[in-house]
Chains A and B, each alone.
Chain A
Amino acid sequence: MFKIVEKRKLAENIYEMKIAAERVARAALPGQFVIVRSDESSERIPLTIADYDVEAGTVTIVTQTIGHSTKKICSLEVGDCLADFAGPLGRPSEFVHMPLEELRSRKYLFVAGGVGTAPVYPQVKWLHKHGVECDVIIGAKTKDMLIYIDEMRKVGNVHIATDDGTEGFKGMVTALMKELVEGEGRKYDECVCIGPMIMMKFVCLTTLPWNMQTTVSLNALMVDGTGMCGACRVSVGGKTLFTCVDGPEFDGHKVDFDEAMRRQAMYKNQERLDNDNREHKCKCYGE
């Protein structure tokens, strides 16, 4: 059992939790994820690590309530326990293995979308700590949905884009990217993009003509998360890879996003059916 030691609402339906998981905290690196199960009847779901504190022995996760399982996680309070919290899984971001000399000569552009801002944070923080300053674009539909702005400002140069213009640049992150690269003539060696699948697809289409190396972090469906099930198959450069052991970060220009989005929806119909059943059950047995 893994205790929730802190909980904070970041935006509507988005919660941050600090989990007591000493071993995971000690081993975690930017880019990795954990498998979480809220109770004995729950699914195993992968969540990207948003931060880790070796001294406090805690790992931070940020969860948006999109389905039954994420709702269950978010309904837990400080002092409650998650049944399982296994990790860190997946390969760390490639830059953690790079010689510091080389790394410090590189320019990074991070593009974060919605709840994907959380897993971008430990990467920018790690680079900042190792003397690499990065530009970070954070995008959301509207001002109220922006998360991790203050945290990110402490470790990177933040640019904000909202679809409705309630904060920062008005428009999509891709438009702001064009503004920075084509408008202001900024140069980057690599773009790292984490967010909804559809956003990552369009960010990759944007950077392709610039020949800008682009890394994306995929949130495929998983069961075990350790390579055993193959549910997280993704086509990268025509080869089938497993997101859990070969990723979760891949060369975005080689990822087949249309297939990846389709595969993400594999159990959508059933989830809806399940929810209907549950609500039905509530009406029958409630009160």
Chain B
Amino acid sequence: MANKIPRVAVREQDPKVRATNFEEVCYGYNQEEALLEATRCLNCKNPRCVAACPVNIHIPDFIHHLTEGDIRGAADVIHLDSSLPSICGRVCPQESQCEGSCVLGIKGEPVAIGKLERFVGDWYLEHSNEVEAPTIEPNGKRVAIVGSGPAGLACASDLAKMGYKVDVFEALHRLGGVLSYGIPEFRLPKDRVVAHEINEVKKLGVKFETDVIIGRTMTIDSLLDNEGYDAVFVGSGAGLPRFMGIEGENLNGVLSANEFLTRVNLMGAWDPKHNDTPVYVGRKVVVVGGGNVAMDAVRTAKRLGAEAVIVYRRGEAELPARKEEVHHAKEEGIEFRMLTNPTHILGTDDGWVKGINCVEMELGEPDASGRRSPVEKAGSDFIIDCDVVIMALGTSPNPLIASTTGGLNINRRGCIEADEVGATSREGVFAGGDAVTGAATVILAMGAGRKAAKAIDEYIKAKK
């Protein structure tokens, strides 16, 4: 019986060793392991995993190709629905999506769909030079894309395949958006995976320009009215980091997770021999928050040599981060202070962080969202000594594009208003990803980019 085989364990770097380096934590499956794991799939008639995937990858179908040793066939199946399998195989929250609904998971362990996707994606990147670039008939229409993160990349790639001439404008000096500045090297290798996936998009004829801030260097109005683009897709990402608004937050040594991760990932501050940008961790770092970004920040701080602590106001069951990341963080020696909420940050006489004052919390009645909201325990104040406090509390939208684009509506939360397929209130302007939803996942952004590509194609064809 196929499902009697236990889930094939994935090889990982030893936690003690990896807590001191930036090499990838998870080695992934080799071919033998992947093919064995693939045999565990029951190939269900009504595959629940497909419905649970935000982009509905034909999961049993690609796994079936794997069982026959047809890796290229598996890659072709995934590519029907996903443009970035090597990335999503690494960073998707599979336990709450595909693997979370796998029938095998009811009594035992689900099929390792994420690890299989990663295997196929990596195999494809290694063998992509053997695949001849498809000849695409240009249709003479031009689309501008704002942002080279997952939404922009997915949209660009689909439009290019349909024959559009696509130009992507990136504000930073490196491509990839959050894949480059946000997610650390030890979770998503930049050269081996991100740059490689972007290279695949370049092969389709998509042109990328860095150092162009849409809303400042050029506006969306000028792209449509003066630069001759037929449509614009906005995938500009999440925006401005949130702070708590507590006393001491502007002390030296308090920073946003965005700043910390950008210094380390984008600017290469983890490698001071070769890069000028500094980063400061001191002896002990407290990271406030419980999401994936908080885990990335705390594990990065640990790797830079600091003692690193997570402070989160709800309980462990409520942590929004992926289970795998929490598990990895604990293995690496990260301390978790659950049901703990900061009230103010303490500073030295010359204005540097010396500690963070917290209170203990307990979970009260469930709120409207069904989550039990934390309530402060009276008189439970205590201090954690530390040199650095990193706030990982999510983001609020960047107003730059909305404020410089005529007729572009934003919603109550300040995000760009867009319908199911990404159409905004402004004709010819489509949007997707975090710019529309607020901070979410890579796969949702990629899905939104692909839906918008289809809608842009229909819009331009109807305009003729």
Residues of B within 8 A of A42 (CB): 276
Let me know if B350 and A223 touch, CB within 8 A.
Answer: no
Which A residues are CB-close (under 8 A) to B171?
86, 224, 226
Report which A residues bind B (CB closer than 8 A): 23-24, 27, 37, 41-44, 68-69, 72, 83-89, 223-224, 226-231, 233, 235, 240, 242, 245, 259, 262-263, 265-267, 270-271, 274, 277
How far does the alpha carbon of A167 sit from the alpha carbon of B398 in the complex, in Å? 46
25 A-B contacts (beta carbon < 8 Å): A27-B216, A44-B277, A68-B276, A72-B276, A83-B173, A84-B211, A85-B211, A87-B216, A223-B259, A224-B172, A226-B398, A227-B239, A228-B237, A229-B241, A230-B256, A230-B258, A231-B255, A240-B243, A240-B249, A240-B250, A245-B240, A263-B252, A266-B280, A267-B280, A274-B278
**Across the interface, which residues of A come within 8 angstroms of B253, CB to CB?**
266
A258, closest chain B residue (CB):
B351
Question: Min CB distance, A29 to chain B, in Å?
Answer: 10
Distance in Å: Cβ of A202 to nearest Cβ of chain B: 20
Indicate if B272 sits at the interface (CB-CB under 8 A). yes
Q: Chain A contacts of B262 at CB under 8 A?
A: 223-224, 228-229
B318 to chain A, nearest CB (A): 25
Could you tell me the dominant secondary structure of chain B's interface residues?
A: loop
Task: Pick the 7 closest A-B CB pairs, nearest first.
Answer: A229-B259, A86-B211, A230-B256, A270-B278, A84-B173, A230-B241, A262-B351
Please tell me if the beta carbons of A267 and B259 are within 8 angstroms of each other in the complex.
no
A169 CB to nearest B CB, Å: 35
Q: Are B276 and A274 in contact (CB under 8 A)?
A: yes
Q: Which of B10-44 contact A (CB under 8 A)?
A: none
Q: Is B460's CB within 8 Å of the partner chain A?
A: no
- Residue from A228, A240, A245 with most neighbouring chain B CB atoms (10 Å): A228
Closest to B347 in A: A262
Residue pair B240, A230 in contact (C-beta under 8 Å): yes
Give the distance to chain B from A138, nearest Cβ to Cβ, in Å: 29
B267 on interface, CB distance cutoff 8 Å: yes
Give the complex CA separation of A77 and B274 in angstroms: 23
Contact check, B276 vs A228: say whether CB atoms are below 8 A apart.
no
CB-CB < 8 A to B250: which residues of A? Answer: 233, 235, 240, 259, 263
Among B216, B237, B252, B256, the residue within 8 A (CB) of A266 is: B252
Nearest residue in A to B170 (C-beta to C-beta)?
Answer: A86
Question: Are A267 and B278 closer than 8 Å at their CB atoms?
Answer: yes
Does A43 lie within 8 Å of B276, measured CB to CB?
yes
Query: Quick check: B211 and A231 within 8 Å, CB to CB?
Result: no
Given A87-B213, A240-B243, A266-B252: 9 more A-B contacts, CB < 8 Å: A86-B173, A87-B216, A89-B216, A223-B262, A224-B172, A228-B181, A229-B241, A230-B258, A274-B272
Q: Is B212 an interface residue (CB 8 A)?
A: yes
* B173 close to A228 (CB less than 8 A): no
Against A, the Cβ 8 Å flags (1 = close, 0 = not) of B329-356 are 0000000000000000000001100000
In angstroms, Cα B253 to Cα A223, docked, is: 15
**Please, how many angstroms separate the alpha-carbon atoms of A7 and B267 in the complex?**
27
B270 CB → nearest A CB, Å: 13
